[in-house]
Chain A
Amino acid sequence: MKTTLKTAAPAALIALGLATAASAELKIGASISATGPAAFLGDPEAKTLEMLVEELNAKGGINGEPVELVLYDDGGDANKARTFATRLIEDDEVQAIIGGTTTGTSMSILAVAEDAEVPFISLAGAIDIIQPVKPWTFKTPHTDRMACQKIFEDMKKQGIARIGMISGTDGFGASMQAQCKDVVADYGIEVVADETYDPKDADMTAQLTKIKNAEGVQAVLNPGFGQGPSIVTRNYKQLAIDLPLYQSHGVASDGFIELAGADAAEGVRLPGTALLVAALLAEGDAQKPVVTAYKAAYEGKFKQPVSTFGGYAHDGFALLTDAVTRAGSTEPQAIRDALEATKALAGTTGIYTMTPEDHLGLDLSAFRMLQVKDGKWTIVE
């Protein structure tokens, strides 16, 4: 899928080699998994980018110049993502790339962007993308390691020391399971039962029964994604397990409560972003104007609820436009330097402050501990 949000004629001329790109005008490339297995992540991301570019151009663009977006759909295929990244840089001659919905596609784009020295903002979770720090690569979503830390912090506060884990075996669940087990000891918490399920499984009572029978278990953590966690939550209720249940940021949406049923989801805790509880944020919260504006615009235009994932794209775009404005230039080197110097930029995911050592720029405060109360998300903090 290719969308050019300006007349196609200049692009065609450039393609034919008859004209060169005007240097002052910002051309942003994006390779997003708007279809395929990661479409539930990529679709809101693509819509968000298109919406934001339209909004920005209606307001007169950046530094008085319109912004052009070249958007491709890589379908979640890392090989395709690399081809589109090459196309964006070599053929479309963009000055920056946003995208890489999944870790695999991000790692593919990253290699091309680093090689060509073009700034790249990834929308995928894995820590490998920015660690070790690569000069041209940045990312907006918090890592699963941070989600683990936020959850364990909350458990520690509740005096929970022995937990059971039940994780999905998909990319998200398995990666978070590994990260959680890596940091759990720092919080003096012990994992006494460690179960997994296939994301396509329709029943997790066997695993939950094992966890329930584990000695001294005080809480259960479910790193997972998609419908698995909803089934876990329902089975949890059916087995009448009377322990706190923690879910991951992967299911931080109203859709989760719907799928699991408000009754079963009651009391579930998870680390989520400000976007999910926009209306509940305190007045004066730095993120409040950003998340309410984005939520209103997105839901008004697409008649769908906003998702955390669309928020990642929103923040990527905000980081980029902020950097270009500060740099006063669309040269890739200038954009990169400005991106790295981002300070206290409020996004939907958190407040970003980049440094040469940190190309994510978020800390644990980006997560809010949320709990389902009467079928609605509330902030616990």
Chain B
Amino acid sequence: MSQKHATLLVLAALIALSPLFFPSGYYYRIGALMFVNALAVTGIVILTGYAGQISLGHAGFAGIGGYACALAPVHWCLPPALAVVLGAAISAVLAWLVGRPILRLKGYYLGVASLGFGILVAMVLNNERWLTKGPDGIEVPDLGLRGLLKDVGLDLSNGEFWYGLTGIALLVGAWLALNLYHSPTGRALRALHGSEVAAGTVGIDVARVKLQAFVISAVYASVAGSLLALQNKFITPDVAGFMHSIEMVTMAVLGGVGSVPGAVIGAGILTLLPQVLTVFADYEQVILGLVMMLVMIFLPQGLVPSVLRKLRGKDE
């Protein structure tokens, strides 16, 4: 069994078996949030971990995905499930438009351009009140799938339903990301991460492959934003905010930016920690910062790669 299959199997088992230990319905909500965050962070892994590019505006794509689900069903009578696809398509096109000129350049220009892009999206969502209802947020129509499942005899609570659906979405996202890693494109991405010059010399179209990674990761963020909006049935422009972009990158770096399991662990920890830390009242931010610093100092490659290396000895 390859490492890819082992990773997916462990992930599927964790998702399927964890509910056996849930003391209350609230834990389904936490699980679903973790999976949505992990899905977005998997996109960051493809962009930053595979291709070595940095984006500081991915929340902008999450915002587009989320607001597509809020607006398309109301204005164009699109079923919410198709709105997810529409949001992903818009995100992909915008990522292509932003990335195409920028990714021809070497260095961290994408970081700055995406930062500007994210802020622009947040501004539009905040200010175009006629469309988005502004900073107070907007209601998102029901996905309708839970009702359908009920009709065929599968009666799930809201929490259970979203836990299952986001869990499946994460599995699919992880599977695609792992496949990409082992594909020719994935190898090209890793090659240019090592050295753009060397990658160009062996015939890799560096700009094109980088652009592909950026577009794919934008779609991940967009779908994650859609799932969050549909789950909450309400969305505010915060989802596209700068802090959310930083949160995604932080989750990826904490878990280990080059690895899909790292994305899941990083997202899991940073989703769970604030919930656990409610007991420590005002020290939440301090503890979060401390954890981040300690991980960066002692495990600079992130939790998962560092721990794996320890387990395997020095043969890697």
Name A's B-contacting residues (CB within 8 A): 1-3, 15-17, 72-73, 77-80, 82-83, 86-87, 89-91, 102-104, 107-108, 111, 115, 126, 128, 169-171, 174-175, 178
Of chain A, the residue at the smallest CB distance from B284 is A1
- Check B26–A91 contact: CB distance below 8 A: yes
Partner of A90, one of B24, B233, B238: B24
Within 8 A of A (CB), among B230-244: 232-236, 238-239
Q: List the 10 shortest-distance A-B pairs measured between CB atoms, nearest first.
A: A90-B25, A90-B26, A171-B135, A91-B26, A2-B278, A103-B136, A104-B137, A104-B236, A86-B29, A78-B236
Query: Can you give 9 contacting A-B residue pairs, CB < 8 Å?
Result: A1-B281, A78-B137, A79-B238, A82-B29, A83-B29, A86-B25, A86-B159, A107-B136, A174-B134
Partner of A83, one of B30, B134, B236, B238: B30
- Check B129–A174 contact: CB distance below 8 A: yes
- Check A107–B135 contact: CB distance below 8 A: no
- Would you call B213 an interface residue if the criterion is a C-beta within 8 Å of the partner chain's C-beta atoms? no
Q: A102–B234 Cα gap in the complex (Å)?
A: 14
Within 8 A of A (CB), among B1-55: 23-27, 29-30, 33
Query: With a CB–CB cut-off of 8 A, which chain A residues contact B23?
Result: 15-17, 91
- Tell me the interface secondary structure of chain B in the complex: helix
- Would you call B139 an interface residue if the criterion is a C-beta within 8 Å of the partner chain's C-beta atoms? yes
- Would you call B195 an interface residue if the criterion is a C-beta within 8 Å of the partner chain's C-beta atoms? no
Number of B residues with CB within 8 Å of any CB on chain A: 32
- Check B234–A108 contact: CB distance below 8 A: yes
| Contact A104 B135, CB 8 Å, known A83-B30, A91-B23 | yes
Least Cβ–Cβ distance between B135 and chain A, in angstroms: 4
Q: A86-B26, A90-B159 are in contact. List 11 more A-B contacts (CB 8 A).
A: A2-B279, A2-B281, A16-B23, A78-B236, A79-B238, A83-B29, A86-B25, A87-B275, A107-B234, A108-B232, A170-B135
- Check A78–B234 contact: CB distance below 8 A: yes
Least Cβ–Cβ distance between A33 and chain B, in angstroms: 12
- Check B129–A78 contact: CB distance below 8 A: no
| Contact A77 B136, CB 8 Å, known A3-B281, A17-B23 | no
Q: A207–B14 Cα gap in the complex (Å)?
A: 59
- Check B234–A82 contact: CB distance below 8 A: yes
Query: With a CB–CB cut-off of 8 A, which chain B residues contact A107?
Result: 136-137, 139, 234
Query: With a CB–CB cut-off of 8 A, which chain B residues contact A80?
Result: 274
- Check A78–B26 contact: CB distance below 8 A: no
Q: A15–B27 Cα gap in the complex (Å)?
A: 12
Query: With a CB–CB cut-off of 8 A, which chain B residues contact A126?
Result: 136
- Would you call B183 an interface residue if the criterion is a C-beta within 8 Å of the partner chain's C-beta atoms? no
Least Cβ–Cβ distance between B205 and chain A, in angstroms: 39
- Check A104–B281 contact: CB distance below 8 A: no
Query: With a CB–CB cut-off of 8 A, which chain B residues contact A169?
Result: 127
Using an 8 Å CB-CB cutoff, how does the interface string of B236-259 with A read, 1 for contact, 0 for none?
101100000000000000000000
- Check A79–B30 contact: CB distance below 8 A: no
Of chain B, the residue at the smallest CB distance from A124 is B136
- Check B158–A103 contact: CB distance below 8 A: no
Query: With a CB–CB cut-off of 8 A, which chain A residues contact B228?
Result: 79
Q: A347–B284 Cα gap in the complex (Å)?
A: 34
- Would you call B282 an interface residue if the criterion is a C-beta within 8 Å of the partner chain's C-beta atoms? yes
Q: A2–B129 Cα gap in the complex (Å)?
A: 35
Query: With a CB–CB cut-off of 8 A, which chain B residues contact A87?
Result: 26, 29, 275
Query: With a CB–CB cut-off of 8 A, which chain B residues contact A2?
Result: 278-279, 281
Least Cβ–Cβ distance between B269 and chain A, in angstroms: 16
Q: A86–B129 Cα gap in the complex (Å)?
A: 29
Least Cβ–Cβ distance between B174 and chain A, in angstroms: 22
Query: With a CB–CB cut-off of 8 A, which chain A residues contact B24?
Result: 90-91
Query: With a CB–CB cut-off of 8 A, which chain A residues contact B33?
Result: 79, 83
- Check A111–B281 contact: CB distance below 8 A: no
- Check B135–A78 contact: CB distance below 8 A: no
Query: With a CB–CB cut-off of 8 A, which chain A residues contact B129?
Result: 174, 178
Least Cβ–Cβ distance between A140 and chain B, in angstroms: 18
Least Cβ–Cβ distance between A352 and chain B, in angstroms: 24
Least Cβ–Cβ distance between B276 and chain A, in angstroms: 10
- Check B278–A1 contact: CB distance below 8 A: yes
Q: A93–B2 Cα gap in the complex (Å)?
A: 45
Query: With a CB–CB cut-off of 8 A, which chain B residues contact A103?
Result: 136-137
Within 8 A of A (CB), among B281-298: 281-282, 284
- Check A111–B233 contact: CB distance below 8 A: yes
Least Cβ–Cβ distance between B78 and chain A, in angstroms: 21
Query: With a CB–CB cut-off of 8 A, which chain A residues contact B26?
Result: 86-87, 89-91
